[in-house]
Amino acid sequence: MTTVGLLYPGYGAEDDFPALERRLRDAGDEYDVSLPLVHTSVGEDAHRVDALLDLGGHERLVAGARSLLERQRLDSLVWACTSGSFVFGWEGAHRQVGRLTEETGVPTSSTSLAFVEACRALGLTRVSIAASYPEDVATHFRTFLRAGGVEVTAMGTHDIFTAAEVGRLGRDRVVDMVVGSDRSGAEAVLVPDTAMHSLAWVPDLETAAGMPVLTANQVTVFEGLRLAGSVPVLPALGTLFQRTHVGAR
């Protein structure tokens, strides 16, 4: 079994991950993936830069990591938060997970870094963003992607201020966000925000977009498996999981 620990801020779409575990278990014994999750503490639920910098603070994350490690062995660890990682910038996001690796001894990454790794795995260099965030926050994601070598051809924002609101979005609203994105010149659509449910809807999103779609929770799982050794083919998780990818180890 491959065990990917998830540091998840507050509450929103955390049920995406156990639901995926159940689907994989029902699909067959070869899909032996465990995604234990711990809720990290939240000061203020707000898509605002200062609140997000506080959300991704080291003490909050290391407390969650220690809590997970007290319960079980982990093959990898992911800070399952996009905005709480990209607001630190390219170098800051690497420092954020590097400190956790030093503290825990477990290979660690974050959802923002996962988006870049997923783009690299698929050979994507031009993407459109369909973001739930206000524009000022989403702009930090665009800058982050560019630092990672990914060109942003267009960016749509939806001014949703809290993770709690994002967690209540249904399938049709998420599909509408993707369909409403400007996809001209893009090779894929990126949908950040781990507070948004998406893991059961990736095939629907890709059908609606007519191209690969990468969502925050999807790339979070991808990155955890990549750090653990390799990414297997997994059913109904979109283009990203249609072939095996060599891992970081």
CA dihedral sign, ordered 141, 149, 174, 27: negative
pLDDT at residue 29, as a whole number: 65
- 3-class SS string, 185-238: CCCEEEECCCCCCCCCCHHHHHHHHCCCEEEHHHHHHHHHHHHHCEECCCCCCC
| Spatial CA neighbour of 148 closest among 186, 120, 190 | 120
| Residue 110 pLDDT exceeds 70 | yes
For 41, how many CA atoms within 13 A lie in the half-sphere containing its CB?
Answer: 10
pLDDT at residue 58, as a whole number: 96
Dist CA 149 CA 69 (whole Å): 34
| Spatial CA neighbour of 131 closest among 79, 174, 72 | 174
Residue with tokens 């191209």: 211
pLDDT at residue 246, as a whole number: 74
- Rounded mean pLDDT of 198-225? 98
Which structure tokens are listed for 137? 């926050």
For 84, how many CA atoms within 13 A lie in the half-sphere containing its CB?
Answer: 32
pLDDT at residue 244, as a whole number: 84
First vs last Cα of the chain: how many Å apart?
A: 16
Please give the model's pTM, rounded to 2 decimal places. 0.96
pLDDT digit string (tens) for 115-163? 999 999 999 999 999 999 999 999 999 999 999 999 999 999 999 999 9
pLDDT at residue 163, as a whole number: 93
Greatest Cα-to-Cα distance within the chain, rounded to the nearest angstrom: 48
Residue with tokens 């929770």: 217
pLDDT at residue 25, as a whole number: 86
| Residue 207 pLDDT exceeds 90 | yes
Dist CA 12 CA 194 (whole Å): 8
pLDDT digit string (tens) for 22-75? 999 888 767 789 999 999 999 999 999 999 999 999 999 999 999 999 999 999
- Extended beta strands in the chain, E state: 2-9, 33-34, 37-40, 76-79, 108-110, 126-131, 151-157, 188-191, 213-215, 230-231, 245-246
- Rounded mean pLDDT of 104-117? 98
- Rounded mean pLDDT of 167-171? 97
- Rounded mean pLDDT of 85-98? 98
pLDDT digit string (tens) for 170-193? 999 999 999 999 999 999 999 999
Query: E strand or H helix at 240, and its extent?
Result: none
Dist CA 196 CA 148 (whole Å): 23
| Residue 247 pLDDT exceeds 80 | no
Residue with tokens 């689907």: 23
pLDDT at residue 249, as a whole number: 61
